[in-house]
Structure 1
Amino acid sequence: MTAHLSRRTLLGIAGAGAGAYLLSACGSDEPSTPDGPQTINWWHIQNTEPMLPVWAAIAKEYETAHPNVKVVIQPLENEAFKAKLTTATQAGSPPDLFQSWGGGVLKQQVDAGLVKDITADVQPWIGSLLPASVQPFTIDGKIYGVPFDVGMVGFWYNKDLFVKAGVTATPTTWAELLTTVSTIKGKGIVPMALAGKEKWPGHFYWAYLAMRIGGLGALQQAAKDNNFDTPDFIAAGQRLKELVDLQPFQKGFLGAEYGSPDGQAATMGNGGAALELMGQWAPSVQASSSTSKKGLGDKLGYFAFPAVDGGKGTVAEAFGGGNGFVVGKDAPASTTDFLKVLLDAANQRKSAATGAVLPTVKDAADAIKDPNSKVVAASLASATGFQLFLDQAYPPAVGQQVNDSVAELIAGSKTPEQIVKDITKVAKSQ
């Protein structure tokens, strides 16, 4: 899905899977690794600094410790990876270990018998990971992949502009957020930055509102029934329309990209807006897109997406995603052992130290350096539930329709009632 190109290629951070359930705790002995020669074909998209050399070094160390195993790495750019993987899976020959964001695509791979159920193999150590991070890779109670990175979406705000507007506290309810936006706009400051052209940033608002109004159960039920034409999803659109009617976004937002010099991240990084709703990669992209190449620094703050009065969801439920690896159906026995090594605390610390990864292993959180990243990690660690980006969680065609429909709502060309019918129509056709 090209909508996620900015997220993945800029930071190697992106979607994972949804509506999945936490693993069942069936104990198992660790599998034995045969002594014969084995080759692990490993495809990933960390094809640049800082993660490219980190993965290479870990693979080399594993080969040294296991002389019978060779790890052949194929680093690929995101879109090239997706094209190459599609060709391989259609031919029924997936690589042994490959990048995954879980969700709808992983479920299709599971249904096609292309990936291995690794539940028993990972049982001795999966408990060391954040439970929320494992959900996207759990399909029908079975684990098919392991995440090495996880994050969440929230509001990033410019502390100086809040002070300038006289806003003394971050909003904790949707009503308070609307008041905050009105107050900021009344002071002649642009309240929010949005990349309207790329669509995926807009879907964050509708998805979070649906979560806060209907709870995680509403999103899981919609996936099960292929039906979004329900009061909770309509209400999410109505609440979003309340925000859109305040005209909170920067001038020209409908044509704005995310990471371009005049896009959403740059608008924030250059102090041109007070708020953006974005994932854990936001500070880095704000900095790299800004004129100074430094972004807001300690002027940048973060708060969770607020509650909606009367809603079934809570602020402790997180929306986001991360990167992981799944094991191909014909992978050699050593593949899950190598996966265990990739995810041990020492290697997760190395990954976290680069700043490009928010580790999934709980004991590696001490390697996170950035203060805002620490806040995100702490929020995730205490999350009571987790929902993947909807354009990753659902089948690809449904995810694309969610993005398209929310963009139409924000542009004012479709109503809350119309978009849920459009999304449902595509969902039922799958």
Structure 2
Amino acid sequence: MHFKLHAKLIGLCAGLLISTGLQAQMVELDRVVAIVDNDVIMASQVEERVNSVRAQLSQGGSRELPPTEEIRKQVMDRLILESIQLQMGERAGIQIDDASLNQTMQQLAERNGVTLEQFRAALERDGISYSQAREQVRREMIINRVRQRRVAERIQVSDQEVRNFLNSEMGRYQTSADYRLAMIVLPVSETASNEQARRQAEMAEQIHRELQEGADFTRLAVSRSGGEHALEGGELGWRKAAQLPPEFANAVDRLEIGGITPPLRSPVGFHILKLLDKRGGDNLLVDEFNVRHILIKPSEIRSEAEAAQLIQRLYERISNGESFETLARSFSEDPGTALNGGSLDWITADAMVPEFRDTMLSTPKGTVSAPFQSQFGWHILQVLDQREVDMTDEMREQQARNMLQNRKFDEELQSWLQEIRDEAYIEIKS
């Protein structure tokens, strides 16, 4: 089996950039094509990326590729921006530890539907060494952290913006319930006689009775449905409530997971729907956690390693009996929680960044986590309590706020990238 992962990796990674260690490996005929602040871009880097982009476009099915010079110009612009951001990350002391990098490589393999060993072998078959791929991913992770720190802090979403979005047609659609459905269809053509329609209605009622008596929905869909998804057991995947005809949406909304509707008439026939899963919508019960934390951030005067050492010392002091609350007030660099002893009050897992969420979920109530790193810096946290609450309205508001923040992030990112390019020293060599 040959896995075509080269193009996918290019899409996920920024690409292999110049570093001091690599310069010594450059062949003598290589040359500098651009100076970017304290970094240089080599001709070999540009050509390597150009070839990768051409391969990606070819594998993507593009019949006519853009002229090579146009690709080369785009590649040069991309490498310049990447260089600027990587230098910003270096000055801020941002580093990616091996544990985080290994976890990301594992996730990339899983996303491609292969094991890590298969992923490694496929990369090498496509001419990419695993160590080179790791460096590509490491650089992309650094760039992402730089962007989160520098761009996210420029974004504000007001409560009024959230309310306006929730009241808009798009907002109601985006925050409505999602249903994972399967469907059995008994078609009735426009030219069918009343007798033919009646027989299909009777057949739909018979299938519905069999399902109520315990017959397998998938088997009946494969053998008796006339819908295009019959061979998939009738499964339609996820659908927004707003995507369904009103009668279908109303019927599905009344179902428990695993339930089936009675036969429903539409202009094209009779339909029986099964609710396989549901997310969002009304009566959303979620787990909340009462958590406090201490945040230590790398900065211009504190390296990543020094931040890690400080959070470790604070963890040891708490383990030896010192007050978490007192140390949070004295040391935490989260301005929103430090004065409250690090308290985040009641929060949901989905509201937190992945590293914080995963640590919080795996930390028993009343205990303090080991130090861990997120895009914001180094943390330790303590789970004080846990409860289940109806968070329908709150979750809709948070979902809306996240959507607005993501939209503003994309817009602000382009503005920020232009700013940092304008501020950098860039010299293009002929």
TM-score (norm 1): 0.20
TM-score (norm 2): 0.20
Greater C-alpha radius of gyration: 2
Structure number with the bigger relative contact order (C-alpha 8 A, sep ≥ 6) is 1
Higher strand share: 2
